[in-house]
Structure formats: C-alpha cells, structure tokens
Amino acid sequence: MDAAPDDPGQPPGRSGTEARTARSPLRLRLVLATFGLLVCTVLAVVWFTADDPALSSRAPGWLFAALAVLAALDLVVVGTRLRRRRRGRR
C-alpha cells in the first residue's frame, strides 16, 4: 500500500507509510536505561568487592561497568531528545 508519487500527503523522498509525527517511546527508554544503569552499577560494585574465590575473575565486573557506562550515555541521549521535544524542535 505505497503512496503514489504525486500524493499530496507524502513528502518527496518518503517511502514509508508511518505517521509524520511518529515518535519513539523515549520515556520507556529513559526508565529502561535508568534500570540498566542501577543494576549494572550494583553488580559491578558487588563483583569487584566480593571476597569469594569463585568470583576472582574481574572480567564480568568490567563487563557490568561497561554496560553501566553505556546506560549512562543512553540517559544523556534520551534527556537531550526529551528537552528538544519539549522546546518544539525535532
């Protein structure tokens, strides 16, 4: 069900049928990134401070720390996009 090239509702160069005002669920992404940041930070701290010999490898701790950093970066991106949306820019 593609729009005809001369369809007045379809801007030039658009091939999709999604709404013009389609938005990603930024609030959900904000909640998930916050959850990921908290969980990964706690797990990294627990892993690095554990005295259990079974947890002697530090690789999982570094993995959790890296995931926490990625979640923090995602929070920055989402926050920027939410501020732009509030100001009316896209």
Q: For residue range 22-50, list pLDDT tens digits in order.
A: 667 888 999 999 999 999 999 999 999 98
Residue 3 lies in a domain: no
36 in any annotated domain: yes
pTM to 2 decimal places: 0.69
Q: Which domain holds residue 79?
A: 26-87
Structural domain contains residue 51: yes
Please give the tally of structural domains in the chain: 1
The pLDDT of residue 57 is above 60: yes
pLDDT at 13 over 80: no
In a domain, 60, yes or no: yes
Residue 90 has pLDDT above 70, yes or no: no
With left for phi above 0 and alpha for psi between -120 and 50, is residue 88 left, alpha or beta? Answer: left
The one-letter amino acid at 72: A
The pLDDT of residue 55 is above 90: no
In a domain, 5, yes or no: no
**Residue 12 domain-assigned?**
no
Q: CB of 22 within 8 A of CB of 74?
A: no
Establish if 30 belongs to a structural domain: yes
Q: Give the rounded percent of residues in the chain with a pLDDT score beyond 90.
A: 44
